[in-house]
Structure formats: structure tokens, C-alpha cells
Amino acid sequence: MADAKPLTTPAAPGCKLSLYEGEPFPDGTRFRSVVSALQYLLFTCPDIAFAVNQVCQYMHSPTTSHWAAVKRILRYLKGTHDHALVYTPSSLELTAFADADYAGDPDDRRSTGGYCIFLGDNLIS
């Protein structure tokens, strides 16, 4: 992926992965290894959390479309290797935001939710 073109988003906007989309990926071990490394990277790159969660749901039976989603995350990381979380002194005001979609998963109609919590101007969770 060293020569891949960087992207500005870790997942395609509006694209939902499905268990039945694409051909079976021939190297499941490679898929699980790369996705596991991406999970570890979440500690320092929370901006990829949603995209990594999407591909993690298919570790048991990856397809070529799931691998394309993993490669998209890697291309995004290539373009954002110099991004970082910066914590600055600010107020002790706690602010939280949450959102969810209702039955958004195309396979089992489960909902997906997310949240972010700020302490002053700093993202903490």
C-alpha cells in the first residue's frame, strides 16, 4: 500500500457493508491480521473507529468487498499520518453528543450508535 493514493475519509459515505456482498476473500488470516492491527491503532486514531468496527463484524467470513473497505482505511491512514489528538488547557465542562441509526444494518436490521465526550475542548471518549 506504499504507493496507494491517499483518501480523505476512512469509509465511503453512505456505503454499508453486507455479509453477502462480494466473493469470499481467499486469505482470511491476512484479513484478520490487518484488521487486528487497525484495532490496536484505534488508541491513537479514534477517527477510524466507525470504519474499523464495520470491517470487524466480518472477520469470521470476509469477502472481497470487506477487503476493499480495509484497503480504504489504510489509504486514509496514509494521508493522515501526521494528524494527532492535541489536548490543551480548557474548562472542566463535560459535553456529550450521541447519535444512532434505526435498523441500519442491511443483514440483520440492527442499529448502530456512537458518541463522543468532551472535557472542555478536548475529546476524551
**Predicted confidence pLDDT, tens digits, the chain (125 residues):** 888 999 999 998 888 899 999 999 999 999 999 999 999 998 888 889 999 999 999 999 999 999 999 999 999 999 998 887 788 999 999 999 999 888 877 788 888 888 899 999 998 88
pLDDT of residue 2: 82
Q: Using an 8 Å Cβ cutoff, are 33 and 59 in contact?
A: no
State the pLDDT at residue 86: 80
Provide the whole-model pTM: 0.78
What gap in Å lies between CA 70 and CA 51, rounded to an integer? 8
Cell numbers that stand for 82 in this block: 501526521
Using alpha carbons, list the distances in angstroms from residue 106 to 19, 94, 99, 113: 9, 35, 18, 15
